[in-house]
Amino acid sequence: MSNLINNYARNNIEFISGDGSYLTSIDGRKYLDFGSGISVTNLGHNHKNITDIIVSEAAKLLHVSNLYLSTPQEELAEIIVKESFQGKLFFCNSGAEANEAAIKLARLYGNKKYNGKKDKILSFNNSFHGRTYATLSATAQDKIQNGFTPIAQYNRFAPFNDIDAVLNIVKNGDIVAIILELYQGESGILPIDPLFLKQLREICDKEDIILIFDEIQTGMGRTGEVFAYKHFNVEPDIMSMAKAMANGLPIGAIIAKDHIASLFTHGTHGTTFGGGAMITKVAKKVIEIISDKTFLNDITIKGELLKSTIENKLNDRVTFHGKGLLLGVETRFTPTTVVGKCLENGLVVIPAGNNTVRLFPPLNISKEDILIGAELFIKSINELDG
Query: Residue 311 maps to which CATH number?
Result: 3.90.1150.10
In a domain, 43, yes or no: no
* Residue 211 and residue 189 share a domain: yes
d(CA 295, CA 293): 5
Final residue before a domain boundary, out of 290, 323, 356: 290
In a domain, 141, yes or no: yes
* Residue 304 and residue 277 share a domain: no
- How crowded is the C-beta side of 63, counted as CA atoms within 13 Å? 5
* Residue 316 and residue 190 share a domain: no
* Residue 137 and residue 250 share a domain: yes
* Residue 374 and residue 254 share a domain: no
* Residue 280 and residue 297 share a domain: no
* Residue 283 and residue 365 share a domain: no
* Residue 367 and residue 336 share a domain: yes
Beta strands 356-359 and 120-124, pairing class: unpaired
* Number of domains forming the structure of the chain: 2
- Distances from the Cα of 312 to the Cα of 149, 233, 262, 300, 384, angstroms: 46, 32, 52, 18, 18
In a domain, 378, yes or no: yes
* Residue 316 and residue 200 share a domain: no
Final residue before a domain boundary, out of 270, 290, 310: 290
pTM greater than 0.75: yes
In a domain, 109, yes or no: yes
pLDDT per residue, tens digit, the chain (386 aa), is 899 999 999 999 999 999 999 999 999 999 999 999 999 999 999 999 999 999 999 999 999 999 999 999 999 999 999 999 999 999 999 999 999 999 999 999 999 999 989 999 999 999 999 999 999 999 999 999 999 999 999 999 999 999 999 999 999 999 999 999 999 999 999 999 999 999 999 999 999 999 999 999 999 999 999 999 999 999 999 999 999 999 999 999 999 999 999 999 999 999 999 999 999 999 999 999 999 999 999 999 999 999 999 999 999 999 999 999 999 999 999 999 999 999 999 999 999 999 999 999 999 999 999 999 999 999 999 999 98
Q: Which residues contact 301 (CB under 8 A, 6 or more apart)?
A: none
Instruction: Indicate the angle between helix axes 293-314 and 277-290, nearest 10 degrees.
Output: 70
* Residue 331 and residue 234 share a domain: no
In a domain, 39, yes or no: no
The DSSP 8-state label assigned to residue 62 in this structure reads S
In a domain, 262, yes or no: yes
Domain that holds residue 376: 15-33+292-385
Residue 258: CATH number of its domain: 3.40.640.10
Burial (CB < 10 A; 0-12, 13-18, 19+), residue 311, is: middle
In a domain, 209, yes or no: yes
